[in-house]
Amino acid sequence: MNQELFKKQNIIRVLSAIIMFLCIIYGYWWVTWSIAIIFLFYFSIYYEIILWGIMYDSLYGISLSQFYNIKLPFTIACFFLFIIAYFLRKRLIIYNDAN
């Protein structure tokens, strides 16, 4: 039973990676961010969000004066989202039984 659950979780994680990749390539930025935040709270530790931020910045990222000429704004934002979700997950009641 445990192996079936592990296999199901891996399949869902691979499907989420395919969805995120397609959203980065073909989707709008707000769709990509919305789905990334949903996956961030769906999975126990969704470290892939940092990799998606790196991919997004390497494909579309430019230094904008509005962001103080930071080279990797999406990567930094994804890192902060990951940290916030990690600590928020410890505070929420619905996640106490999961981990």
What pLDDT, on a 0 to 100 scale, did the predictor assign at position 95?
64
CA distance linking residue 71 with residue 74, whole number of Å: 9
- Residue spans of the domains in the chain: they are 2-95
What pLDDT, on a 0 to 100 scale, did the predictor assign at position 90?
79
The pLDDT averaged over each successive group of 10 residues in the chain (99 residues) is 78 93 89 91 89 90 76 90 88 64
What pLDDT, on a 0 to 100 scale, did the predictor assign at position 96?
61
The contacts of residue 52 (CB under 8 Å, 6+ apart) are 20, 24, 32, 36, 78
